[in-house]
């Protein structure tokens, strides 16, 4: 068995390496050189790790670490780098792609039109082009016309009497495949489809010049690439679509922190993000701790049943609970408003009033979050030596004294790192905001989409994916700012966790 294995492993490795290298070639050919380089590096490291005996331990580590590096670390670094560009729906392409796009723009040469008919030839088709002035015809070879692959094909001067031309709808059905074809006539003229019934000679609109500028053949104007704005511009200074991605340095950060149109919503959303996380942690912990203290009280019966029922919000998938609340809180059809209406005659506008929307978010989030705190606190309270309570009972202390003098001081230290982690989690609680309010109701006085209940993460999401401008660069810059905040919170958390560990010793 061992013998067979020693043969199979190198074989498998070889196949995998060849496949990976083939993928690298494919990716590079498709013009994604950054992606190709990344793949090549991973393949190289993999080959090194699995071929060198000195790297034996890393063979076990490599798959996991590589996955974490590629799909967790790399996206973070990539986010940071996007934050320094103008990547958006206006500046979507790479410079090369944008240049190629302009160079591919063609204009029909006037008076060059050839009449075009399509003829069936078995299951395939032949293209027949007729020059109305010279009275000559050209016919292509048989073509399948099933996919739109750009190709150059010869067409020969001949007038093979083929079948009758096919109906126009057949031409329309194969338009994409036909449009991809360029025929080279015997006199080296190149013609392309320019209408349903005609092919024309085409020429490129722009000509690339040695200094990187593009000459417009029609107007004689010169397009210069502008590396600051990410557009080619005419001599008059107008930008020409499509734009391309360029580095803009700290421009995005400048916008976030100095331009009032961005600074204002950022400051308000930051303030709400902090208060939302802090209040959630405060209320959820208070409720969870109270319940844990109650459940440690032996005089209370049915504790097990209460515990199971009160644990439920934690076990049900969050996205379902949140959507259930979205329906229950609905202004018009929601059951909560039906009950409030029947009892007090009020119908609060949970989704359109900013204060009520925030209140609703807190209620739902405390509902979702207290069971975790309850379970954690129960564990911590169980670890408190019972002698302490016996001593305090002898001294005649009541339950409140017990709680504030014994329970709370003893569990707050080990609890602090968890509270900070909960704060960090809610700081980035995208799912709750996205599924419950979507950030709405929106501020009315901002140019970017920003809502009164938006957290910083949902704000970046809206800038990147919901706004028509798709300002990926700006969104990535805000994400980078959040990275720094999360890192700061984590540092504090690690510090407190260390203190808690050292005290436990």
Partner 1 sequence: MAVVLARSHRWRVLLAHLFLVLLVAAVIFPFLMILSISLRPGNFATGSIIPESISLEHWKLALGFSTIAADGRLVQPTFPVMTWLWNSVKVAALTGLVTLLLSTTAAYAFARMKFRGKQASLTGLMLLQMFPAVLALVAIYAIFDRIGNVFPAFGINSHWALLLAYSGGIALHVWTIKGYFDTIPIEIEEAAKVDGATPWQAFRLVLLPMAVPILMVVFLLAFIGAIIEYPVASILLNEQSQLTLAVGSKLFLYAQRFLWGDFAAAAILSGLPITAVFILAQRWMIAGLTAGGLKG
Site for partner 1 in 7-36 (CB under 8 A): 23, 26-27, 30, 32, 35
Site string for partner 1, 367-406 (x = CB under 8 A): x-------------------------x-----x-------
* Total count of residues recorded for the chain: 505
Kindly identify the residues of this chain, within the stretch 287-306, that bind partner 1 according to CB under 8 A: 291, 294, 297, 299-300, 302, 306
Q: How far is the CB of 71 from partner 1 (least distance, A)?
A: 3
Is 41 near partner 1 (CB under 8 A)? no
Residue with Cβ nearer partner 1 (51 or 300): 300
Residue with Cβ nearer partner 1 (103 or 497): 497
Is 356 near partner 1 (CB under 8 A)? no
Kindly identify the residues of this chain, within the stretch 117-146, that bind partner 1 according to CB under 8 A: none
Site string for partner 1, 438-467 (x = CB under 8 A): -------------------x--xx--xx--
Is 476 near partner 1 (CB under 8 A)? yes
How distant, in Å, are the alpha carbons of 37, 140, 197, 203, 348 from that of 181? Answer: 32, 11, 15, 15, 63
Tell me how crowded residue 131 is: count the other CB atoms within 10 A of its CB.
16
Q: How far is the CB of 352 from partner 1 (least distance, A)?
A: 11
In sequence order, the 6+-apart residues with CB closer than 8 A to the CB of 423 are 277, 278, 281, 489
Q: CA-CA distance, 188 to 233, in Å (whole number)?
A: 34
Cis peptide, bond prior to residue 467, ω within 30 of zero: no
**Which of these segments, 116-124, 179-187, 213-221, 487-495, binds partner 1 (CB under 8 A)?**
487-495
* Burial class for 5, CB neighbours closer than 10 Å (0-12, 13-18, 19+): exposed
* Burial class for 432, CB neighbours closer than 10 Å (0-12, 13-18, 19+): buried
DSSP 8-state class, residue 128? E
Q: How far is the CB of 259 from partner 1 (least distance, A)?
A: 20
Is 37 near partner 1 (CB under 8 A)? no
Q: CA-CA distance, 150 to 178, in Å (whole number)?
A: 9
Is 360 near partner 1 (CB under 8 A)? no
3-state secondary structure of 371: helix
Q: How far is the CB of 76 from partner 1 (least distance, A)?
A: 5
Residue with Cβ nearer partner 1 (201 or 402): 402
DSSP 8-state class, residue 165? B
Q: CA-CA distance, 371 to 292, in Å (whole number)?
A: 10
Is 475 near partner 1 (CB under 8 A)? yes
Q: How far is the CB of 139 from partner 1 (least distance, A)?
A: 35
Size of site (CB under 8 A) for partner 1: 84
């Amino acid at each position: 068995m061992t013998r067979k294995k020693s043969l199979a492993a190198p074989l498998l490795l070889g196949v995998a390496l060849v496949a990976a290298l083939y993928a690298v070639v494919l990716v590079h050919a498709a013009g994604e050189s950054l992606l190709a380089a990344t793949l090549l590096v991973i393949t190289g490291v993999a080959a090194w790790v699995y071929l060198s005996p000195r790297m034996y331990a890393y063979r076990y580590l490599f798959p996991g670490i590589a996955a974490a590096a590629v799909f967790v670390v790399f996206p973070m670094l990539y986010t940071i780098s996007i934050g320094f560009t103008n990547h958006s729906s206006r500046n979507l392409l790479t410079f090369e792609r944008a240049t190629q796009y302009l160079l591919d723009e063609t204009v029909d040469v006037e008076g060059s039109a050839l009449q075009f008919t399509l003829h069936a030839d078995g299951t395939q088709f032949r293209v027949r082009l007729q020059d109305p002035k010279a009275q000559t015809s050209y016919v292509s070879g048989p073509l399948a016309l099933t996919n739109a692959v750009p190709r150059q094909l010869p067409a020969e001067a001949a007038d093979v009497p083929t079948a009758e031309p096919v109906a126009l709808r057949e031409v329309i059905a194969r338009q994409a495949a036909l449009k991809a074809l360029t025929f080279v006539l015997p006199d080296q003229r190149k013609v392309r489809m320019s209408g349903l019934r005609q092919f024309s000679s085409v020429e490129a609109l722009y000509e690339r010049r040695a200094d990187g500028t593009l000459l417009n053949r029609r107007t004689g104007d010169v397009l210069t690439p502008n590396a600051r704005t990410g557009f080619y511009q005419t001599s008059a200074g107008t930008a020409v679509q499509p734009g391309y991605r360029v580095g803009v340095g700290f421009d995005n950060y400048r916008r976030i922190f100095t331009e009032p149109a961005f600074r204002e919503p950022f400051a308000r959303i930051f303030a709400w993000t902090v208060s939302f996380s802090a209040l959630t942690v405060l209320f959820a912990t208070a409720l969870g701790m109270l319940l844990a203290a109650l459940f440690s009280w032996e005089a209370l019966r049915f504790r097990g049943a209460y515990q199971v029922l009160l644990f439920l919000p934690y076990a049900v998938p969050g996205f379902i609970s949140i959507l259930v609340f979205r329906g229950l809180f609905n202004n018009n059809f929601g059951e909560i408003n039906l009950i409030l209406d029947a009892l007090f005659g009020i119908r609060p506008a949970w989704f359109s009033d900013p204060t009520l929307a925030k209140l609703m978010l807190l209620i739902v989030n405390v509902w979702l979050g207290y069971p975790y705190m309850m379970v954690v606190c129960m564990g911590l309270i169980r670890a408190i030596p019972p002698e302490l309570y016996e001593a305090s009972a002898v001294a005649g202390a009541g339950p409140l004294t017990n709680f504030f003098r014994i329970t709370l001081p003893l569990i707050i230290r080990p609890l602090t790192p968890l509270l900070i982690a909960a704060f960090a989690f809610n700081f980035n609680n995208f799912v709750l905001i996205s599924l419950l309010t979507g950030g709405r109701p929106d501020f009315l006085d901002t140019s970017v989409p920003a809502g009164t209940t938006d957290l910083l993460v949902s704000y970046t999401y809206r800038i990147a994916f919901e706004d028509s401008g798709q300002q990926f660069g700006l969104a990535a810059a805000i994400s980078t700012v959040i990275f720094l905040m999360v890192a700061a919170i984590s540092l504090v958390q690690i510090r407190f966790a260390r203190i808690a560990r050292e005290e436990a010793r």
